[in-house]
Structure 1
């Protein structure tokens, strides 16, 4: 064999193996798509059964006060979320997608069942078909499905937006006004002491905010002089500018006005403050930031020493039990409410991650039913799940130590543990 023949022979061998593996991957993707189509049928059957049960309860005078459709929607979403261990919003998306596939988008459902569409492609079609009148669905599918075999899911979604715009009976001005009502800001913890802060805004506001941050960040680059040069990247300066604006309302040297600094809770073990952090095998983290989780000892010491708006909580270095709640902040909440906020950290409904800081403190056994205002009869529930507890057949029981045991309308049981174990 000559030297010139080696690459061709090796390439042929590799290509044969790669081709076989790619065929197997494609077959598995088709199987996954087919299973997703079957899952959609099962999920929609769950929705129908729960709706039937809610209608029967309403006819029998056993309604909790909500509209039948609202009760069925909330019960179905919470049942599915708890069973699959996903967020309630993710469960609601599965319910909505499954209903659309089995009722209004039969062509898309058939393509998914045959493996011609991935579930990501399917979701792109379902999302963009949302709010289109049923009379437009047939043309919408006929236009998009042939193109789905040559486009990525992102590319198909972009094409679907164009088709949707052509078929939608409402003007884009009306839809923009409706969309503005859903504006929001969200926090998502990331790795290594970082987090994502995202905002869903009207496009012109988002662009204006981004441009302002970018312009300020660019102006901080400095000159070529080594003493004045800012060695941060533009991306880093953008992040720092936005942080300064949101925290203080000012950017150093910019002359912008001062705002209001937010208040947060940071739990700091005593030895962390002494620069004698817990041993590597200790289950207790160096410190914990409310709404995020573990942070480094250096950050915890800096916050405890220099940030007057932080509540400093001293904990036992081995068990993590709170030893003391500092009273060095203005307008300190009542002791019990703060104690519960530290214990719970989030809404205590299964799978919910909404912050306890903005949630209700609920009597597990209702006050009117002789429930006491005690730590072992109180827990944080966000407004949505607080109402769910009182309007549906979801039940909750305090099992001791801050543990809540929930029973779903289906009879399934779920347990939620406190974020922090506190000594009573």
Structure 2
């Protein structure tokens, strides 16, 4: 089982941008999931059945609080353990998830030309995927969260058994255990390093709060790691990337995972540009707001001349190369859905930004004014429903793909948020069996869930009443379609 890459925290937006980061979303979600597990009854029966009357004596209240915290930690450990056991069982008996092994039939021939060994490897992979998906939809978790928890349990059992034992007994919190697993997963296959890290981490976990523990445990990892920092940096360099997270009220967080020297240089440049702007007499923005605006201007070049001038002035001694006059940069395409009456100012129905969700109307109208082209969608004049687009070819036309991107903005699998533009358009009624290429018979499925539907015992069917795509798991559970994301 693969060990996931380390999570990257988002720093708190403060003037001192190098301060310790706040707990990330995964850590907060982890605590919430643990509390939810207790509500499901994953705690010991003796604890769950205890008298819930709140004592009035402060000492007794604190004892009760410690008992509840320990029960929550035990419940979290039990959840991790059960997830790992289900996935291990799927690898031991894949037939439950993907059906009988076809290679055992003496007349079997693979239409894709795979060898027996390749088919059996694929069956194990798809069985694990199917099990992960079933756990995810039943617990209402992301599939990556399920995989991560199984990986954490695997690492703790193998590399940090003392931390795992204390976690299972409720004496170490989930936050401590997860951070231990994350760091231990990056150690080389050296048992002496594992033992040293496990021993040191346990001592710290029993005495330190999670934030202090994380700092101390990272230092411990550096001390016991057998590989040079240069070797590790070269490997970590391959994980660099940029991603966006939707936030509330029309905002979003843009995160970049970069080599430390380049990240520091980028932050210094943005900070320098912001401080240059801050000295203007009529400037009212805070330094944090100026950094955000300078960062956005330099990346999007929404005001290229101003951004270049600001940067050139702010980076005295550096060479800045600006675009030649008249060669404006190409702007990336975005999709904004705006009701016509809203666009005309006769209604206040919200607009949506593809891949994000609702945005304020002023932003939507500004984007409409700046649009260089439009795509018109034909709808029924009374009901407003899209006109059906029956097709006689297997290939999905561009216009139909665009329309499906509006009506079904994400993968149709429960809980999957991958945008339709990154998905396969799957024929629900197979083309080879007479299915048509139209919006009633097509659903977006990311490549992973597309394979899951065709290569495992996961099944999907159209609800005759609602038209939504309902799913049936390999173990027979019926999963209703997700509500529209926006």
Q: Does the TM-score normalized on the shorter chain lie above 0.5?
A: yes
1:21-52: CA deviation from partner (whole Å, max 9, x where unpaired): 43332221111011122222222221121111
1:184-222: CA deviation from partner (whole Å, max 9, x where unpaired): 222222111212121222223322322222222222224
Q: Which among 57, 81, 84 is matched to residue 44 of structure 1?
A: 84
| Aligned equivalents of 1:386, 1:230: Cα separation in 2 | 53
- Matched with 2:316 is none
Structure 2 unaligned spans of 5+: 1-55, 105-117, 309-321, 388-396
- C-alpha deviation, 1:120, in angstroms: 0.6
SS of alignment partner, residue 262 of structure 1:
coil
- Matched with 1:143 is 200
Q: Check conservation: 1:344, 1:356, Cα contact below 8 A.
A: yes
- C-alpha deviation, 1:342, in angstroms: 0.4
Normalized per residue, which structure has more strand?
1
Q: Check conservation: 1:128, 1:157, Cα contact below 8 A.
A: no
Residues 63-74 of structure 1: pairs in structure 2 closer than 5 A: 67-74=122-129
- C-alpha deviation, 1:107, in angstroms: 1.3
Matched, 1:154 2:224: no
Matched, 1:120 2:175: yes
Cα 1:18/1:265, change in 2 over 3 Å: farther
| Aligned equivalents of 2:379, 2:61: Cα separation in 1 | 54
The aligned length equals 387
Q: Check conservation: 2:81, 2:150, Cα contact below 8 A.
A: no
Structure 1 unaligned spans of 5+: 1-15, 279-284, 324-332
- C-alpha deviation, 1:58, in angstroms: 7.9
Cα 1:416/1:174, change in 2 over 3 Å: farther
TM-score, with structure 2 as normaliser: 0.71
SS of alignment partner, residue 234 of structure 2:
helix
| Aligned equivalents of 1:316, 1:23: Cα separation in 2 | 65
Q: Check conservation: 1:314, 1:322, Cα contact below 8 A.
A: yes
Q: Check conservation: 2:159, 2:198, Cα contact below 8 A.
A: no
Matched, 1:352 2:416: yes
Residues 208-223 of structure 1: pairs in structure 2 closer than 5 A: 208-223=265-280
Matched, 1:267 2:307: no
- C-alpha deviation, 1:390, in angstroms: 3.6
- C-alpha deviation, 1:117, in angstroms: 0.6
- Matched with 1:96 is 151
SS of alignment partner, residue 197 of structure 1:
strand
- Matched with 1:61 is 103
Q: Check conservation: 1:247, 1:262, Cα contact below 8 A.
A: no
1:124-169: CA deviation from partner (whole Å, max 9, x where unpaired): 1111110432613222211111111221212222222222223333
- Matched with 1:11 is none
Q: Greater RCO between the two (CA within 8 Å, min separation 6)?
A: 2
| Aligned equivalents of 2:424, 2:146: Cα separation in 1 | 23
| Aligned equivalents of 2:198, 2:485: Cα separation in 1 | 50
| Aligned equivalents of 1:73, 1:168: Cα separation in 2 | 32
- Matched with 1:376 is 440
- Matched with 1:181 is 238
Cα 1:74/1:288, change in 2 over 3 Å: same
Q: Check conservation: 2:167, 2:173, Cα contact below 8 A.
A: yes
Cα 1:322/1:301, change in 2 over 3 Å: farther
Q: Check conservation: 2:156, 2:181, Cα contact below 8 A.
A: yes
| Aligned equivalents of 1:377, 1:59: Cα separation in 2 | 30
Q: Which among 340, 343, 347 is matched to residue 407 of structure 2?
A: 343
| Aligned equivalents of 2:75, 2:133: Cα separation in 1 | 23
| Aligned equivalents of 1:51, 1:85: Cα separation in 2 | 23
Cα 1:410/1:357, change in 2 over 3 Å: same
| Aligned equivalents of 2:154, 2:203: Cα separation in 1 | 23
Q: Check conservation: 2:415, 2:482, Cα contact below 8 A.
A: no
| Aligned equivalents of 1:235, 1:321: Cα separation in 2 | 45
Matched, 1:236 2:300: no
TM-score, with structure 1 as normaliser: 0.80
- C-alpha deviation, 1:315, in angstroms: 8.4
Q: Check conservation: 2:377, 2:403, Cα contact below 8 A.
A: no
Residues 188-207 of structure 1: pairs in structure 2 closer than 5 A: 188-207=245-264
| Aligned equivalents of 2:378, 2:169: Cα separation in 1 | 59
| Aligned equivalents of 1:310, 1:261: Cα separation in 2 | 15
